[in-house]
Amino acid sequence: MNQGLPIDDREGFAAFLLRLRGRGTVPKALIAAFEATPRRGFLAAQFHQIAWSDRMLPIECGEAIEGADMQAAVIAALTIEQGNRVLEIGTGSGYTSAVMSRLAARVITTDRYKTLAEQARQRFEALGIGNVIVRHADGSGGLPNEGPFDRIVAWAAFDSLPRFLLDQLSSGGIVIAPIGPEEGEQVLAKLTKVGSRFEREDIGLVRLQPILRGVAAVI
């Protein structure tokens, strides 16, 4: 195990795995996807020693990358299958797209910040990841012209149930998104499309930034 990781990174990855296993079974494919994706390469050098921690870490444009444990829990709950088309709302550093690309047929990821979109694109190219498409765009309404998607994940909170995403999902598709107020905790909801409605399962509490509309004017 951990053969793909630098020696000084293996201890952090091992601790990360122990935390995950302490919470229940972790799919082998998911562990392999995390192990194959060098997390340090998506973070500034000063955060390399805590790359595998469960704390939010700052990235460019005043944004942050979620803790490794939360990312793993969300991706596990998506139950991505080979052949799936995934939409990610909020590219951030690009790390979660890179992990999901190893599980899905294609990932389309969107971010309102041009800087983040460009940096993520460069990281994917450097890693030889060819099945992720990066869009510098307003993803607050999903990407209605590019669906349907089998899985949709949002890393920013909606103030109410994002029913408009139902039309962008294939039958049996899954959305995972935080729902709740800007301030305080939000509920992380797993929404499965059944016919013309959602079945909802709440899978945890989070504190994430609210979804912002439009694209950033400068950065």
Contacts of 30 (CB under 8 A, 6+ apart): 72, 75, 76, 103
CATH number, domain 7-206, options 3.30.110.30, 3.40.50.150, 3.40.50.2000, 3.90.960.10: 3.40.50.150
Give the length of the chain.
219
Q: Residue 75 has which token pair?
A: 């991706």
What pLDDT, in 10s, does the model give residues 8-38?
Answer: 788 999 999 999 999 888 899 999 999 999 9
- pLDDT at residue 7 above 80? no
Mean of all residue pLDDT scores within the chain = 94
Mean pLDDT for the stretch of residues 145-158: 96
Report the percentage of the chain scoring pLDDT > 90.
Answer: 89
What pLDDT, in 10s, does the model give residues 75-129?
Answer: 999 999 999 999 999 999 999 999 999 999 999 999 999 999 999 999 999 999 9
Contacts of 52 (CB under 8 A, 6+ apart): 9, 12, 13, 15, 16, 39, 68
Single-letter residue type at 27: P
Q: What is the dihedral of CA 205, 188, 139, 145, to 10 degrees?
A: 180
- Could you tell me the pLDDT band of residue 215, with boundaries at 50, 70 and 90? very high
* Predicted pLDDT of residue 4: 60
Please give the Cα distance from 111 to 103 (Å, whole number).
21
Burial of residue 74, with CB atoms counted within 10 A of its CB: 0-12 exposed, 13-18 middle, 19 or more buried:
buried
Identify whether the C-beta of residue 205 lies closer than 8 Å to the C-beta of residue 186: yes
Contacts of 35 (CB under 8 A, 6+ apart): 1, 2, 4, 5, 13
pTM for the model:
0.95
Identify whether the C-beta of residue 193 lies closer than 8 Å to the C-beta of residue 171: yes
Q: Which of 124, 125, 119 is nearest to 100 (CA)?
A: 124
Q: Residue 129 has which token pair?
A: 């990841």
* Predicted pLDDT of residue 86: 98
The beta strands (E) that lie in the chain are given as 57-58, 64-65, 85-89, 106-111, 132-136, 149-154, 169-179, 186-194, 197-206
Q: Residue 164 has which token pair?
A: 């408009």
What pLDDT, in 10s, does the model give residues 38-65?
Answer: 999 999 999 999 999 999 999 999 999 9
* Predicted pLDDT of residue 2: 47
Please give the Cα distance from 41 to 150 (Å, whole number).
28
- pLDDT at residue 1 above 90? no
Please give the Cα distance from 94 to 119 (Å, whole number).
8
Report the percentage of the chain scoring pLDDT > 70.
Answer: 97
- Could you tell me the pLDDT band of residue 160, with boundaries at 50, 70 and 90? very high
Identify whether the C-beta of residue 39 lies closer than 8 Å to the C-beta of residue 68: yes
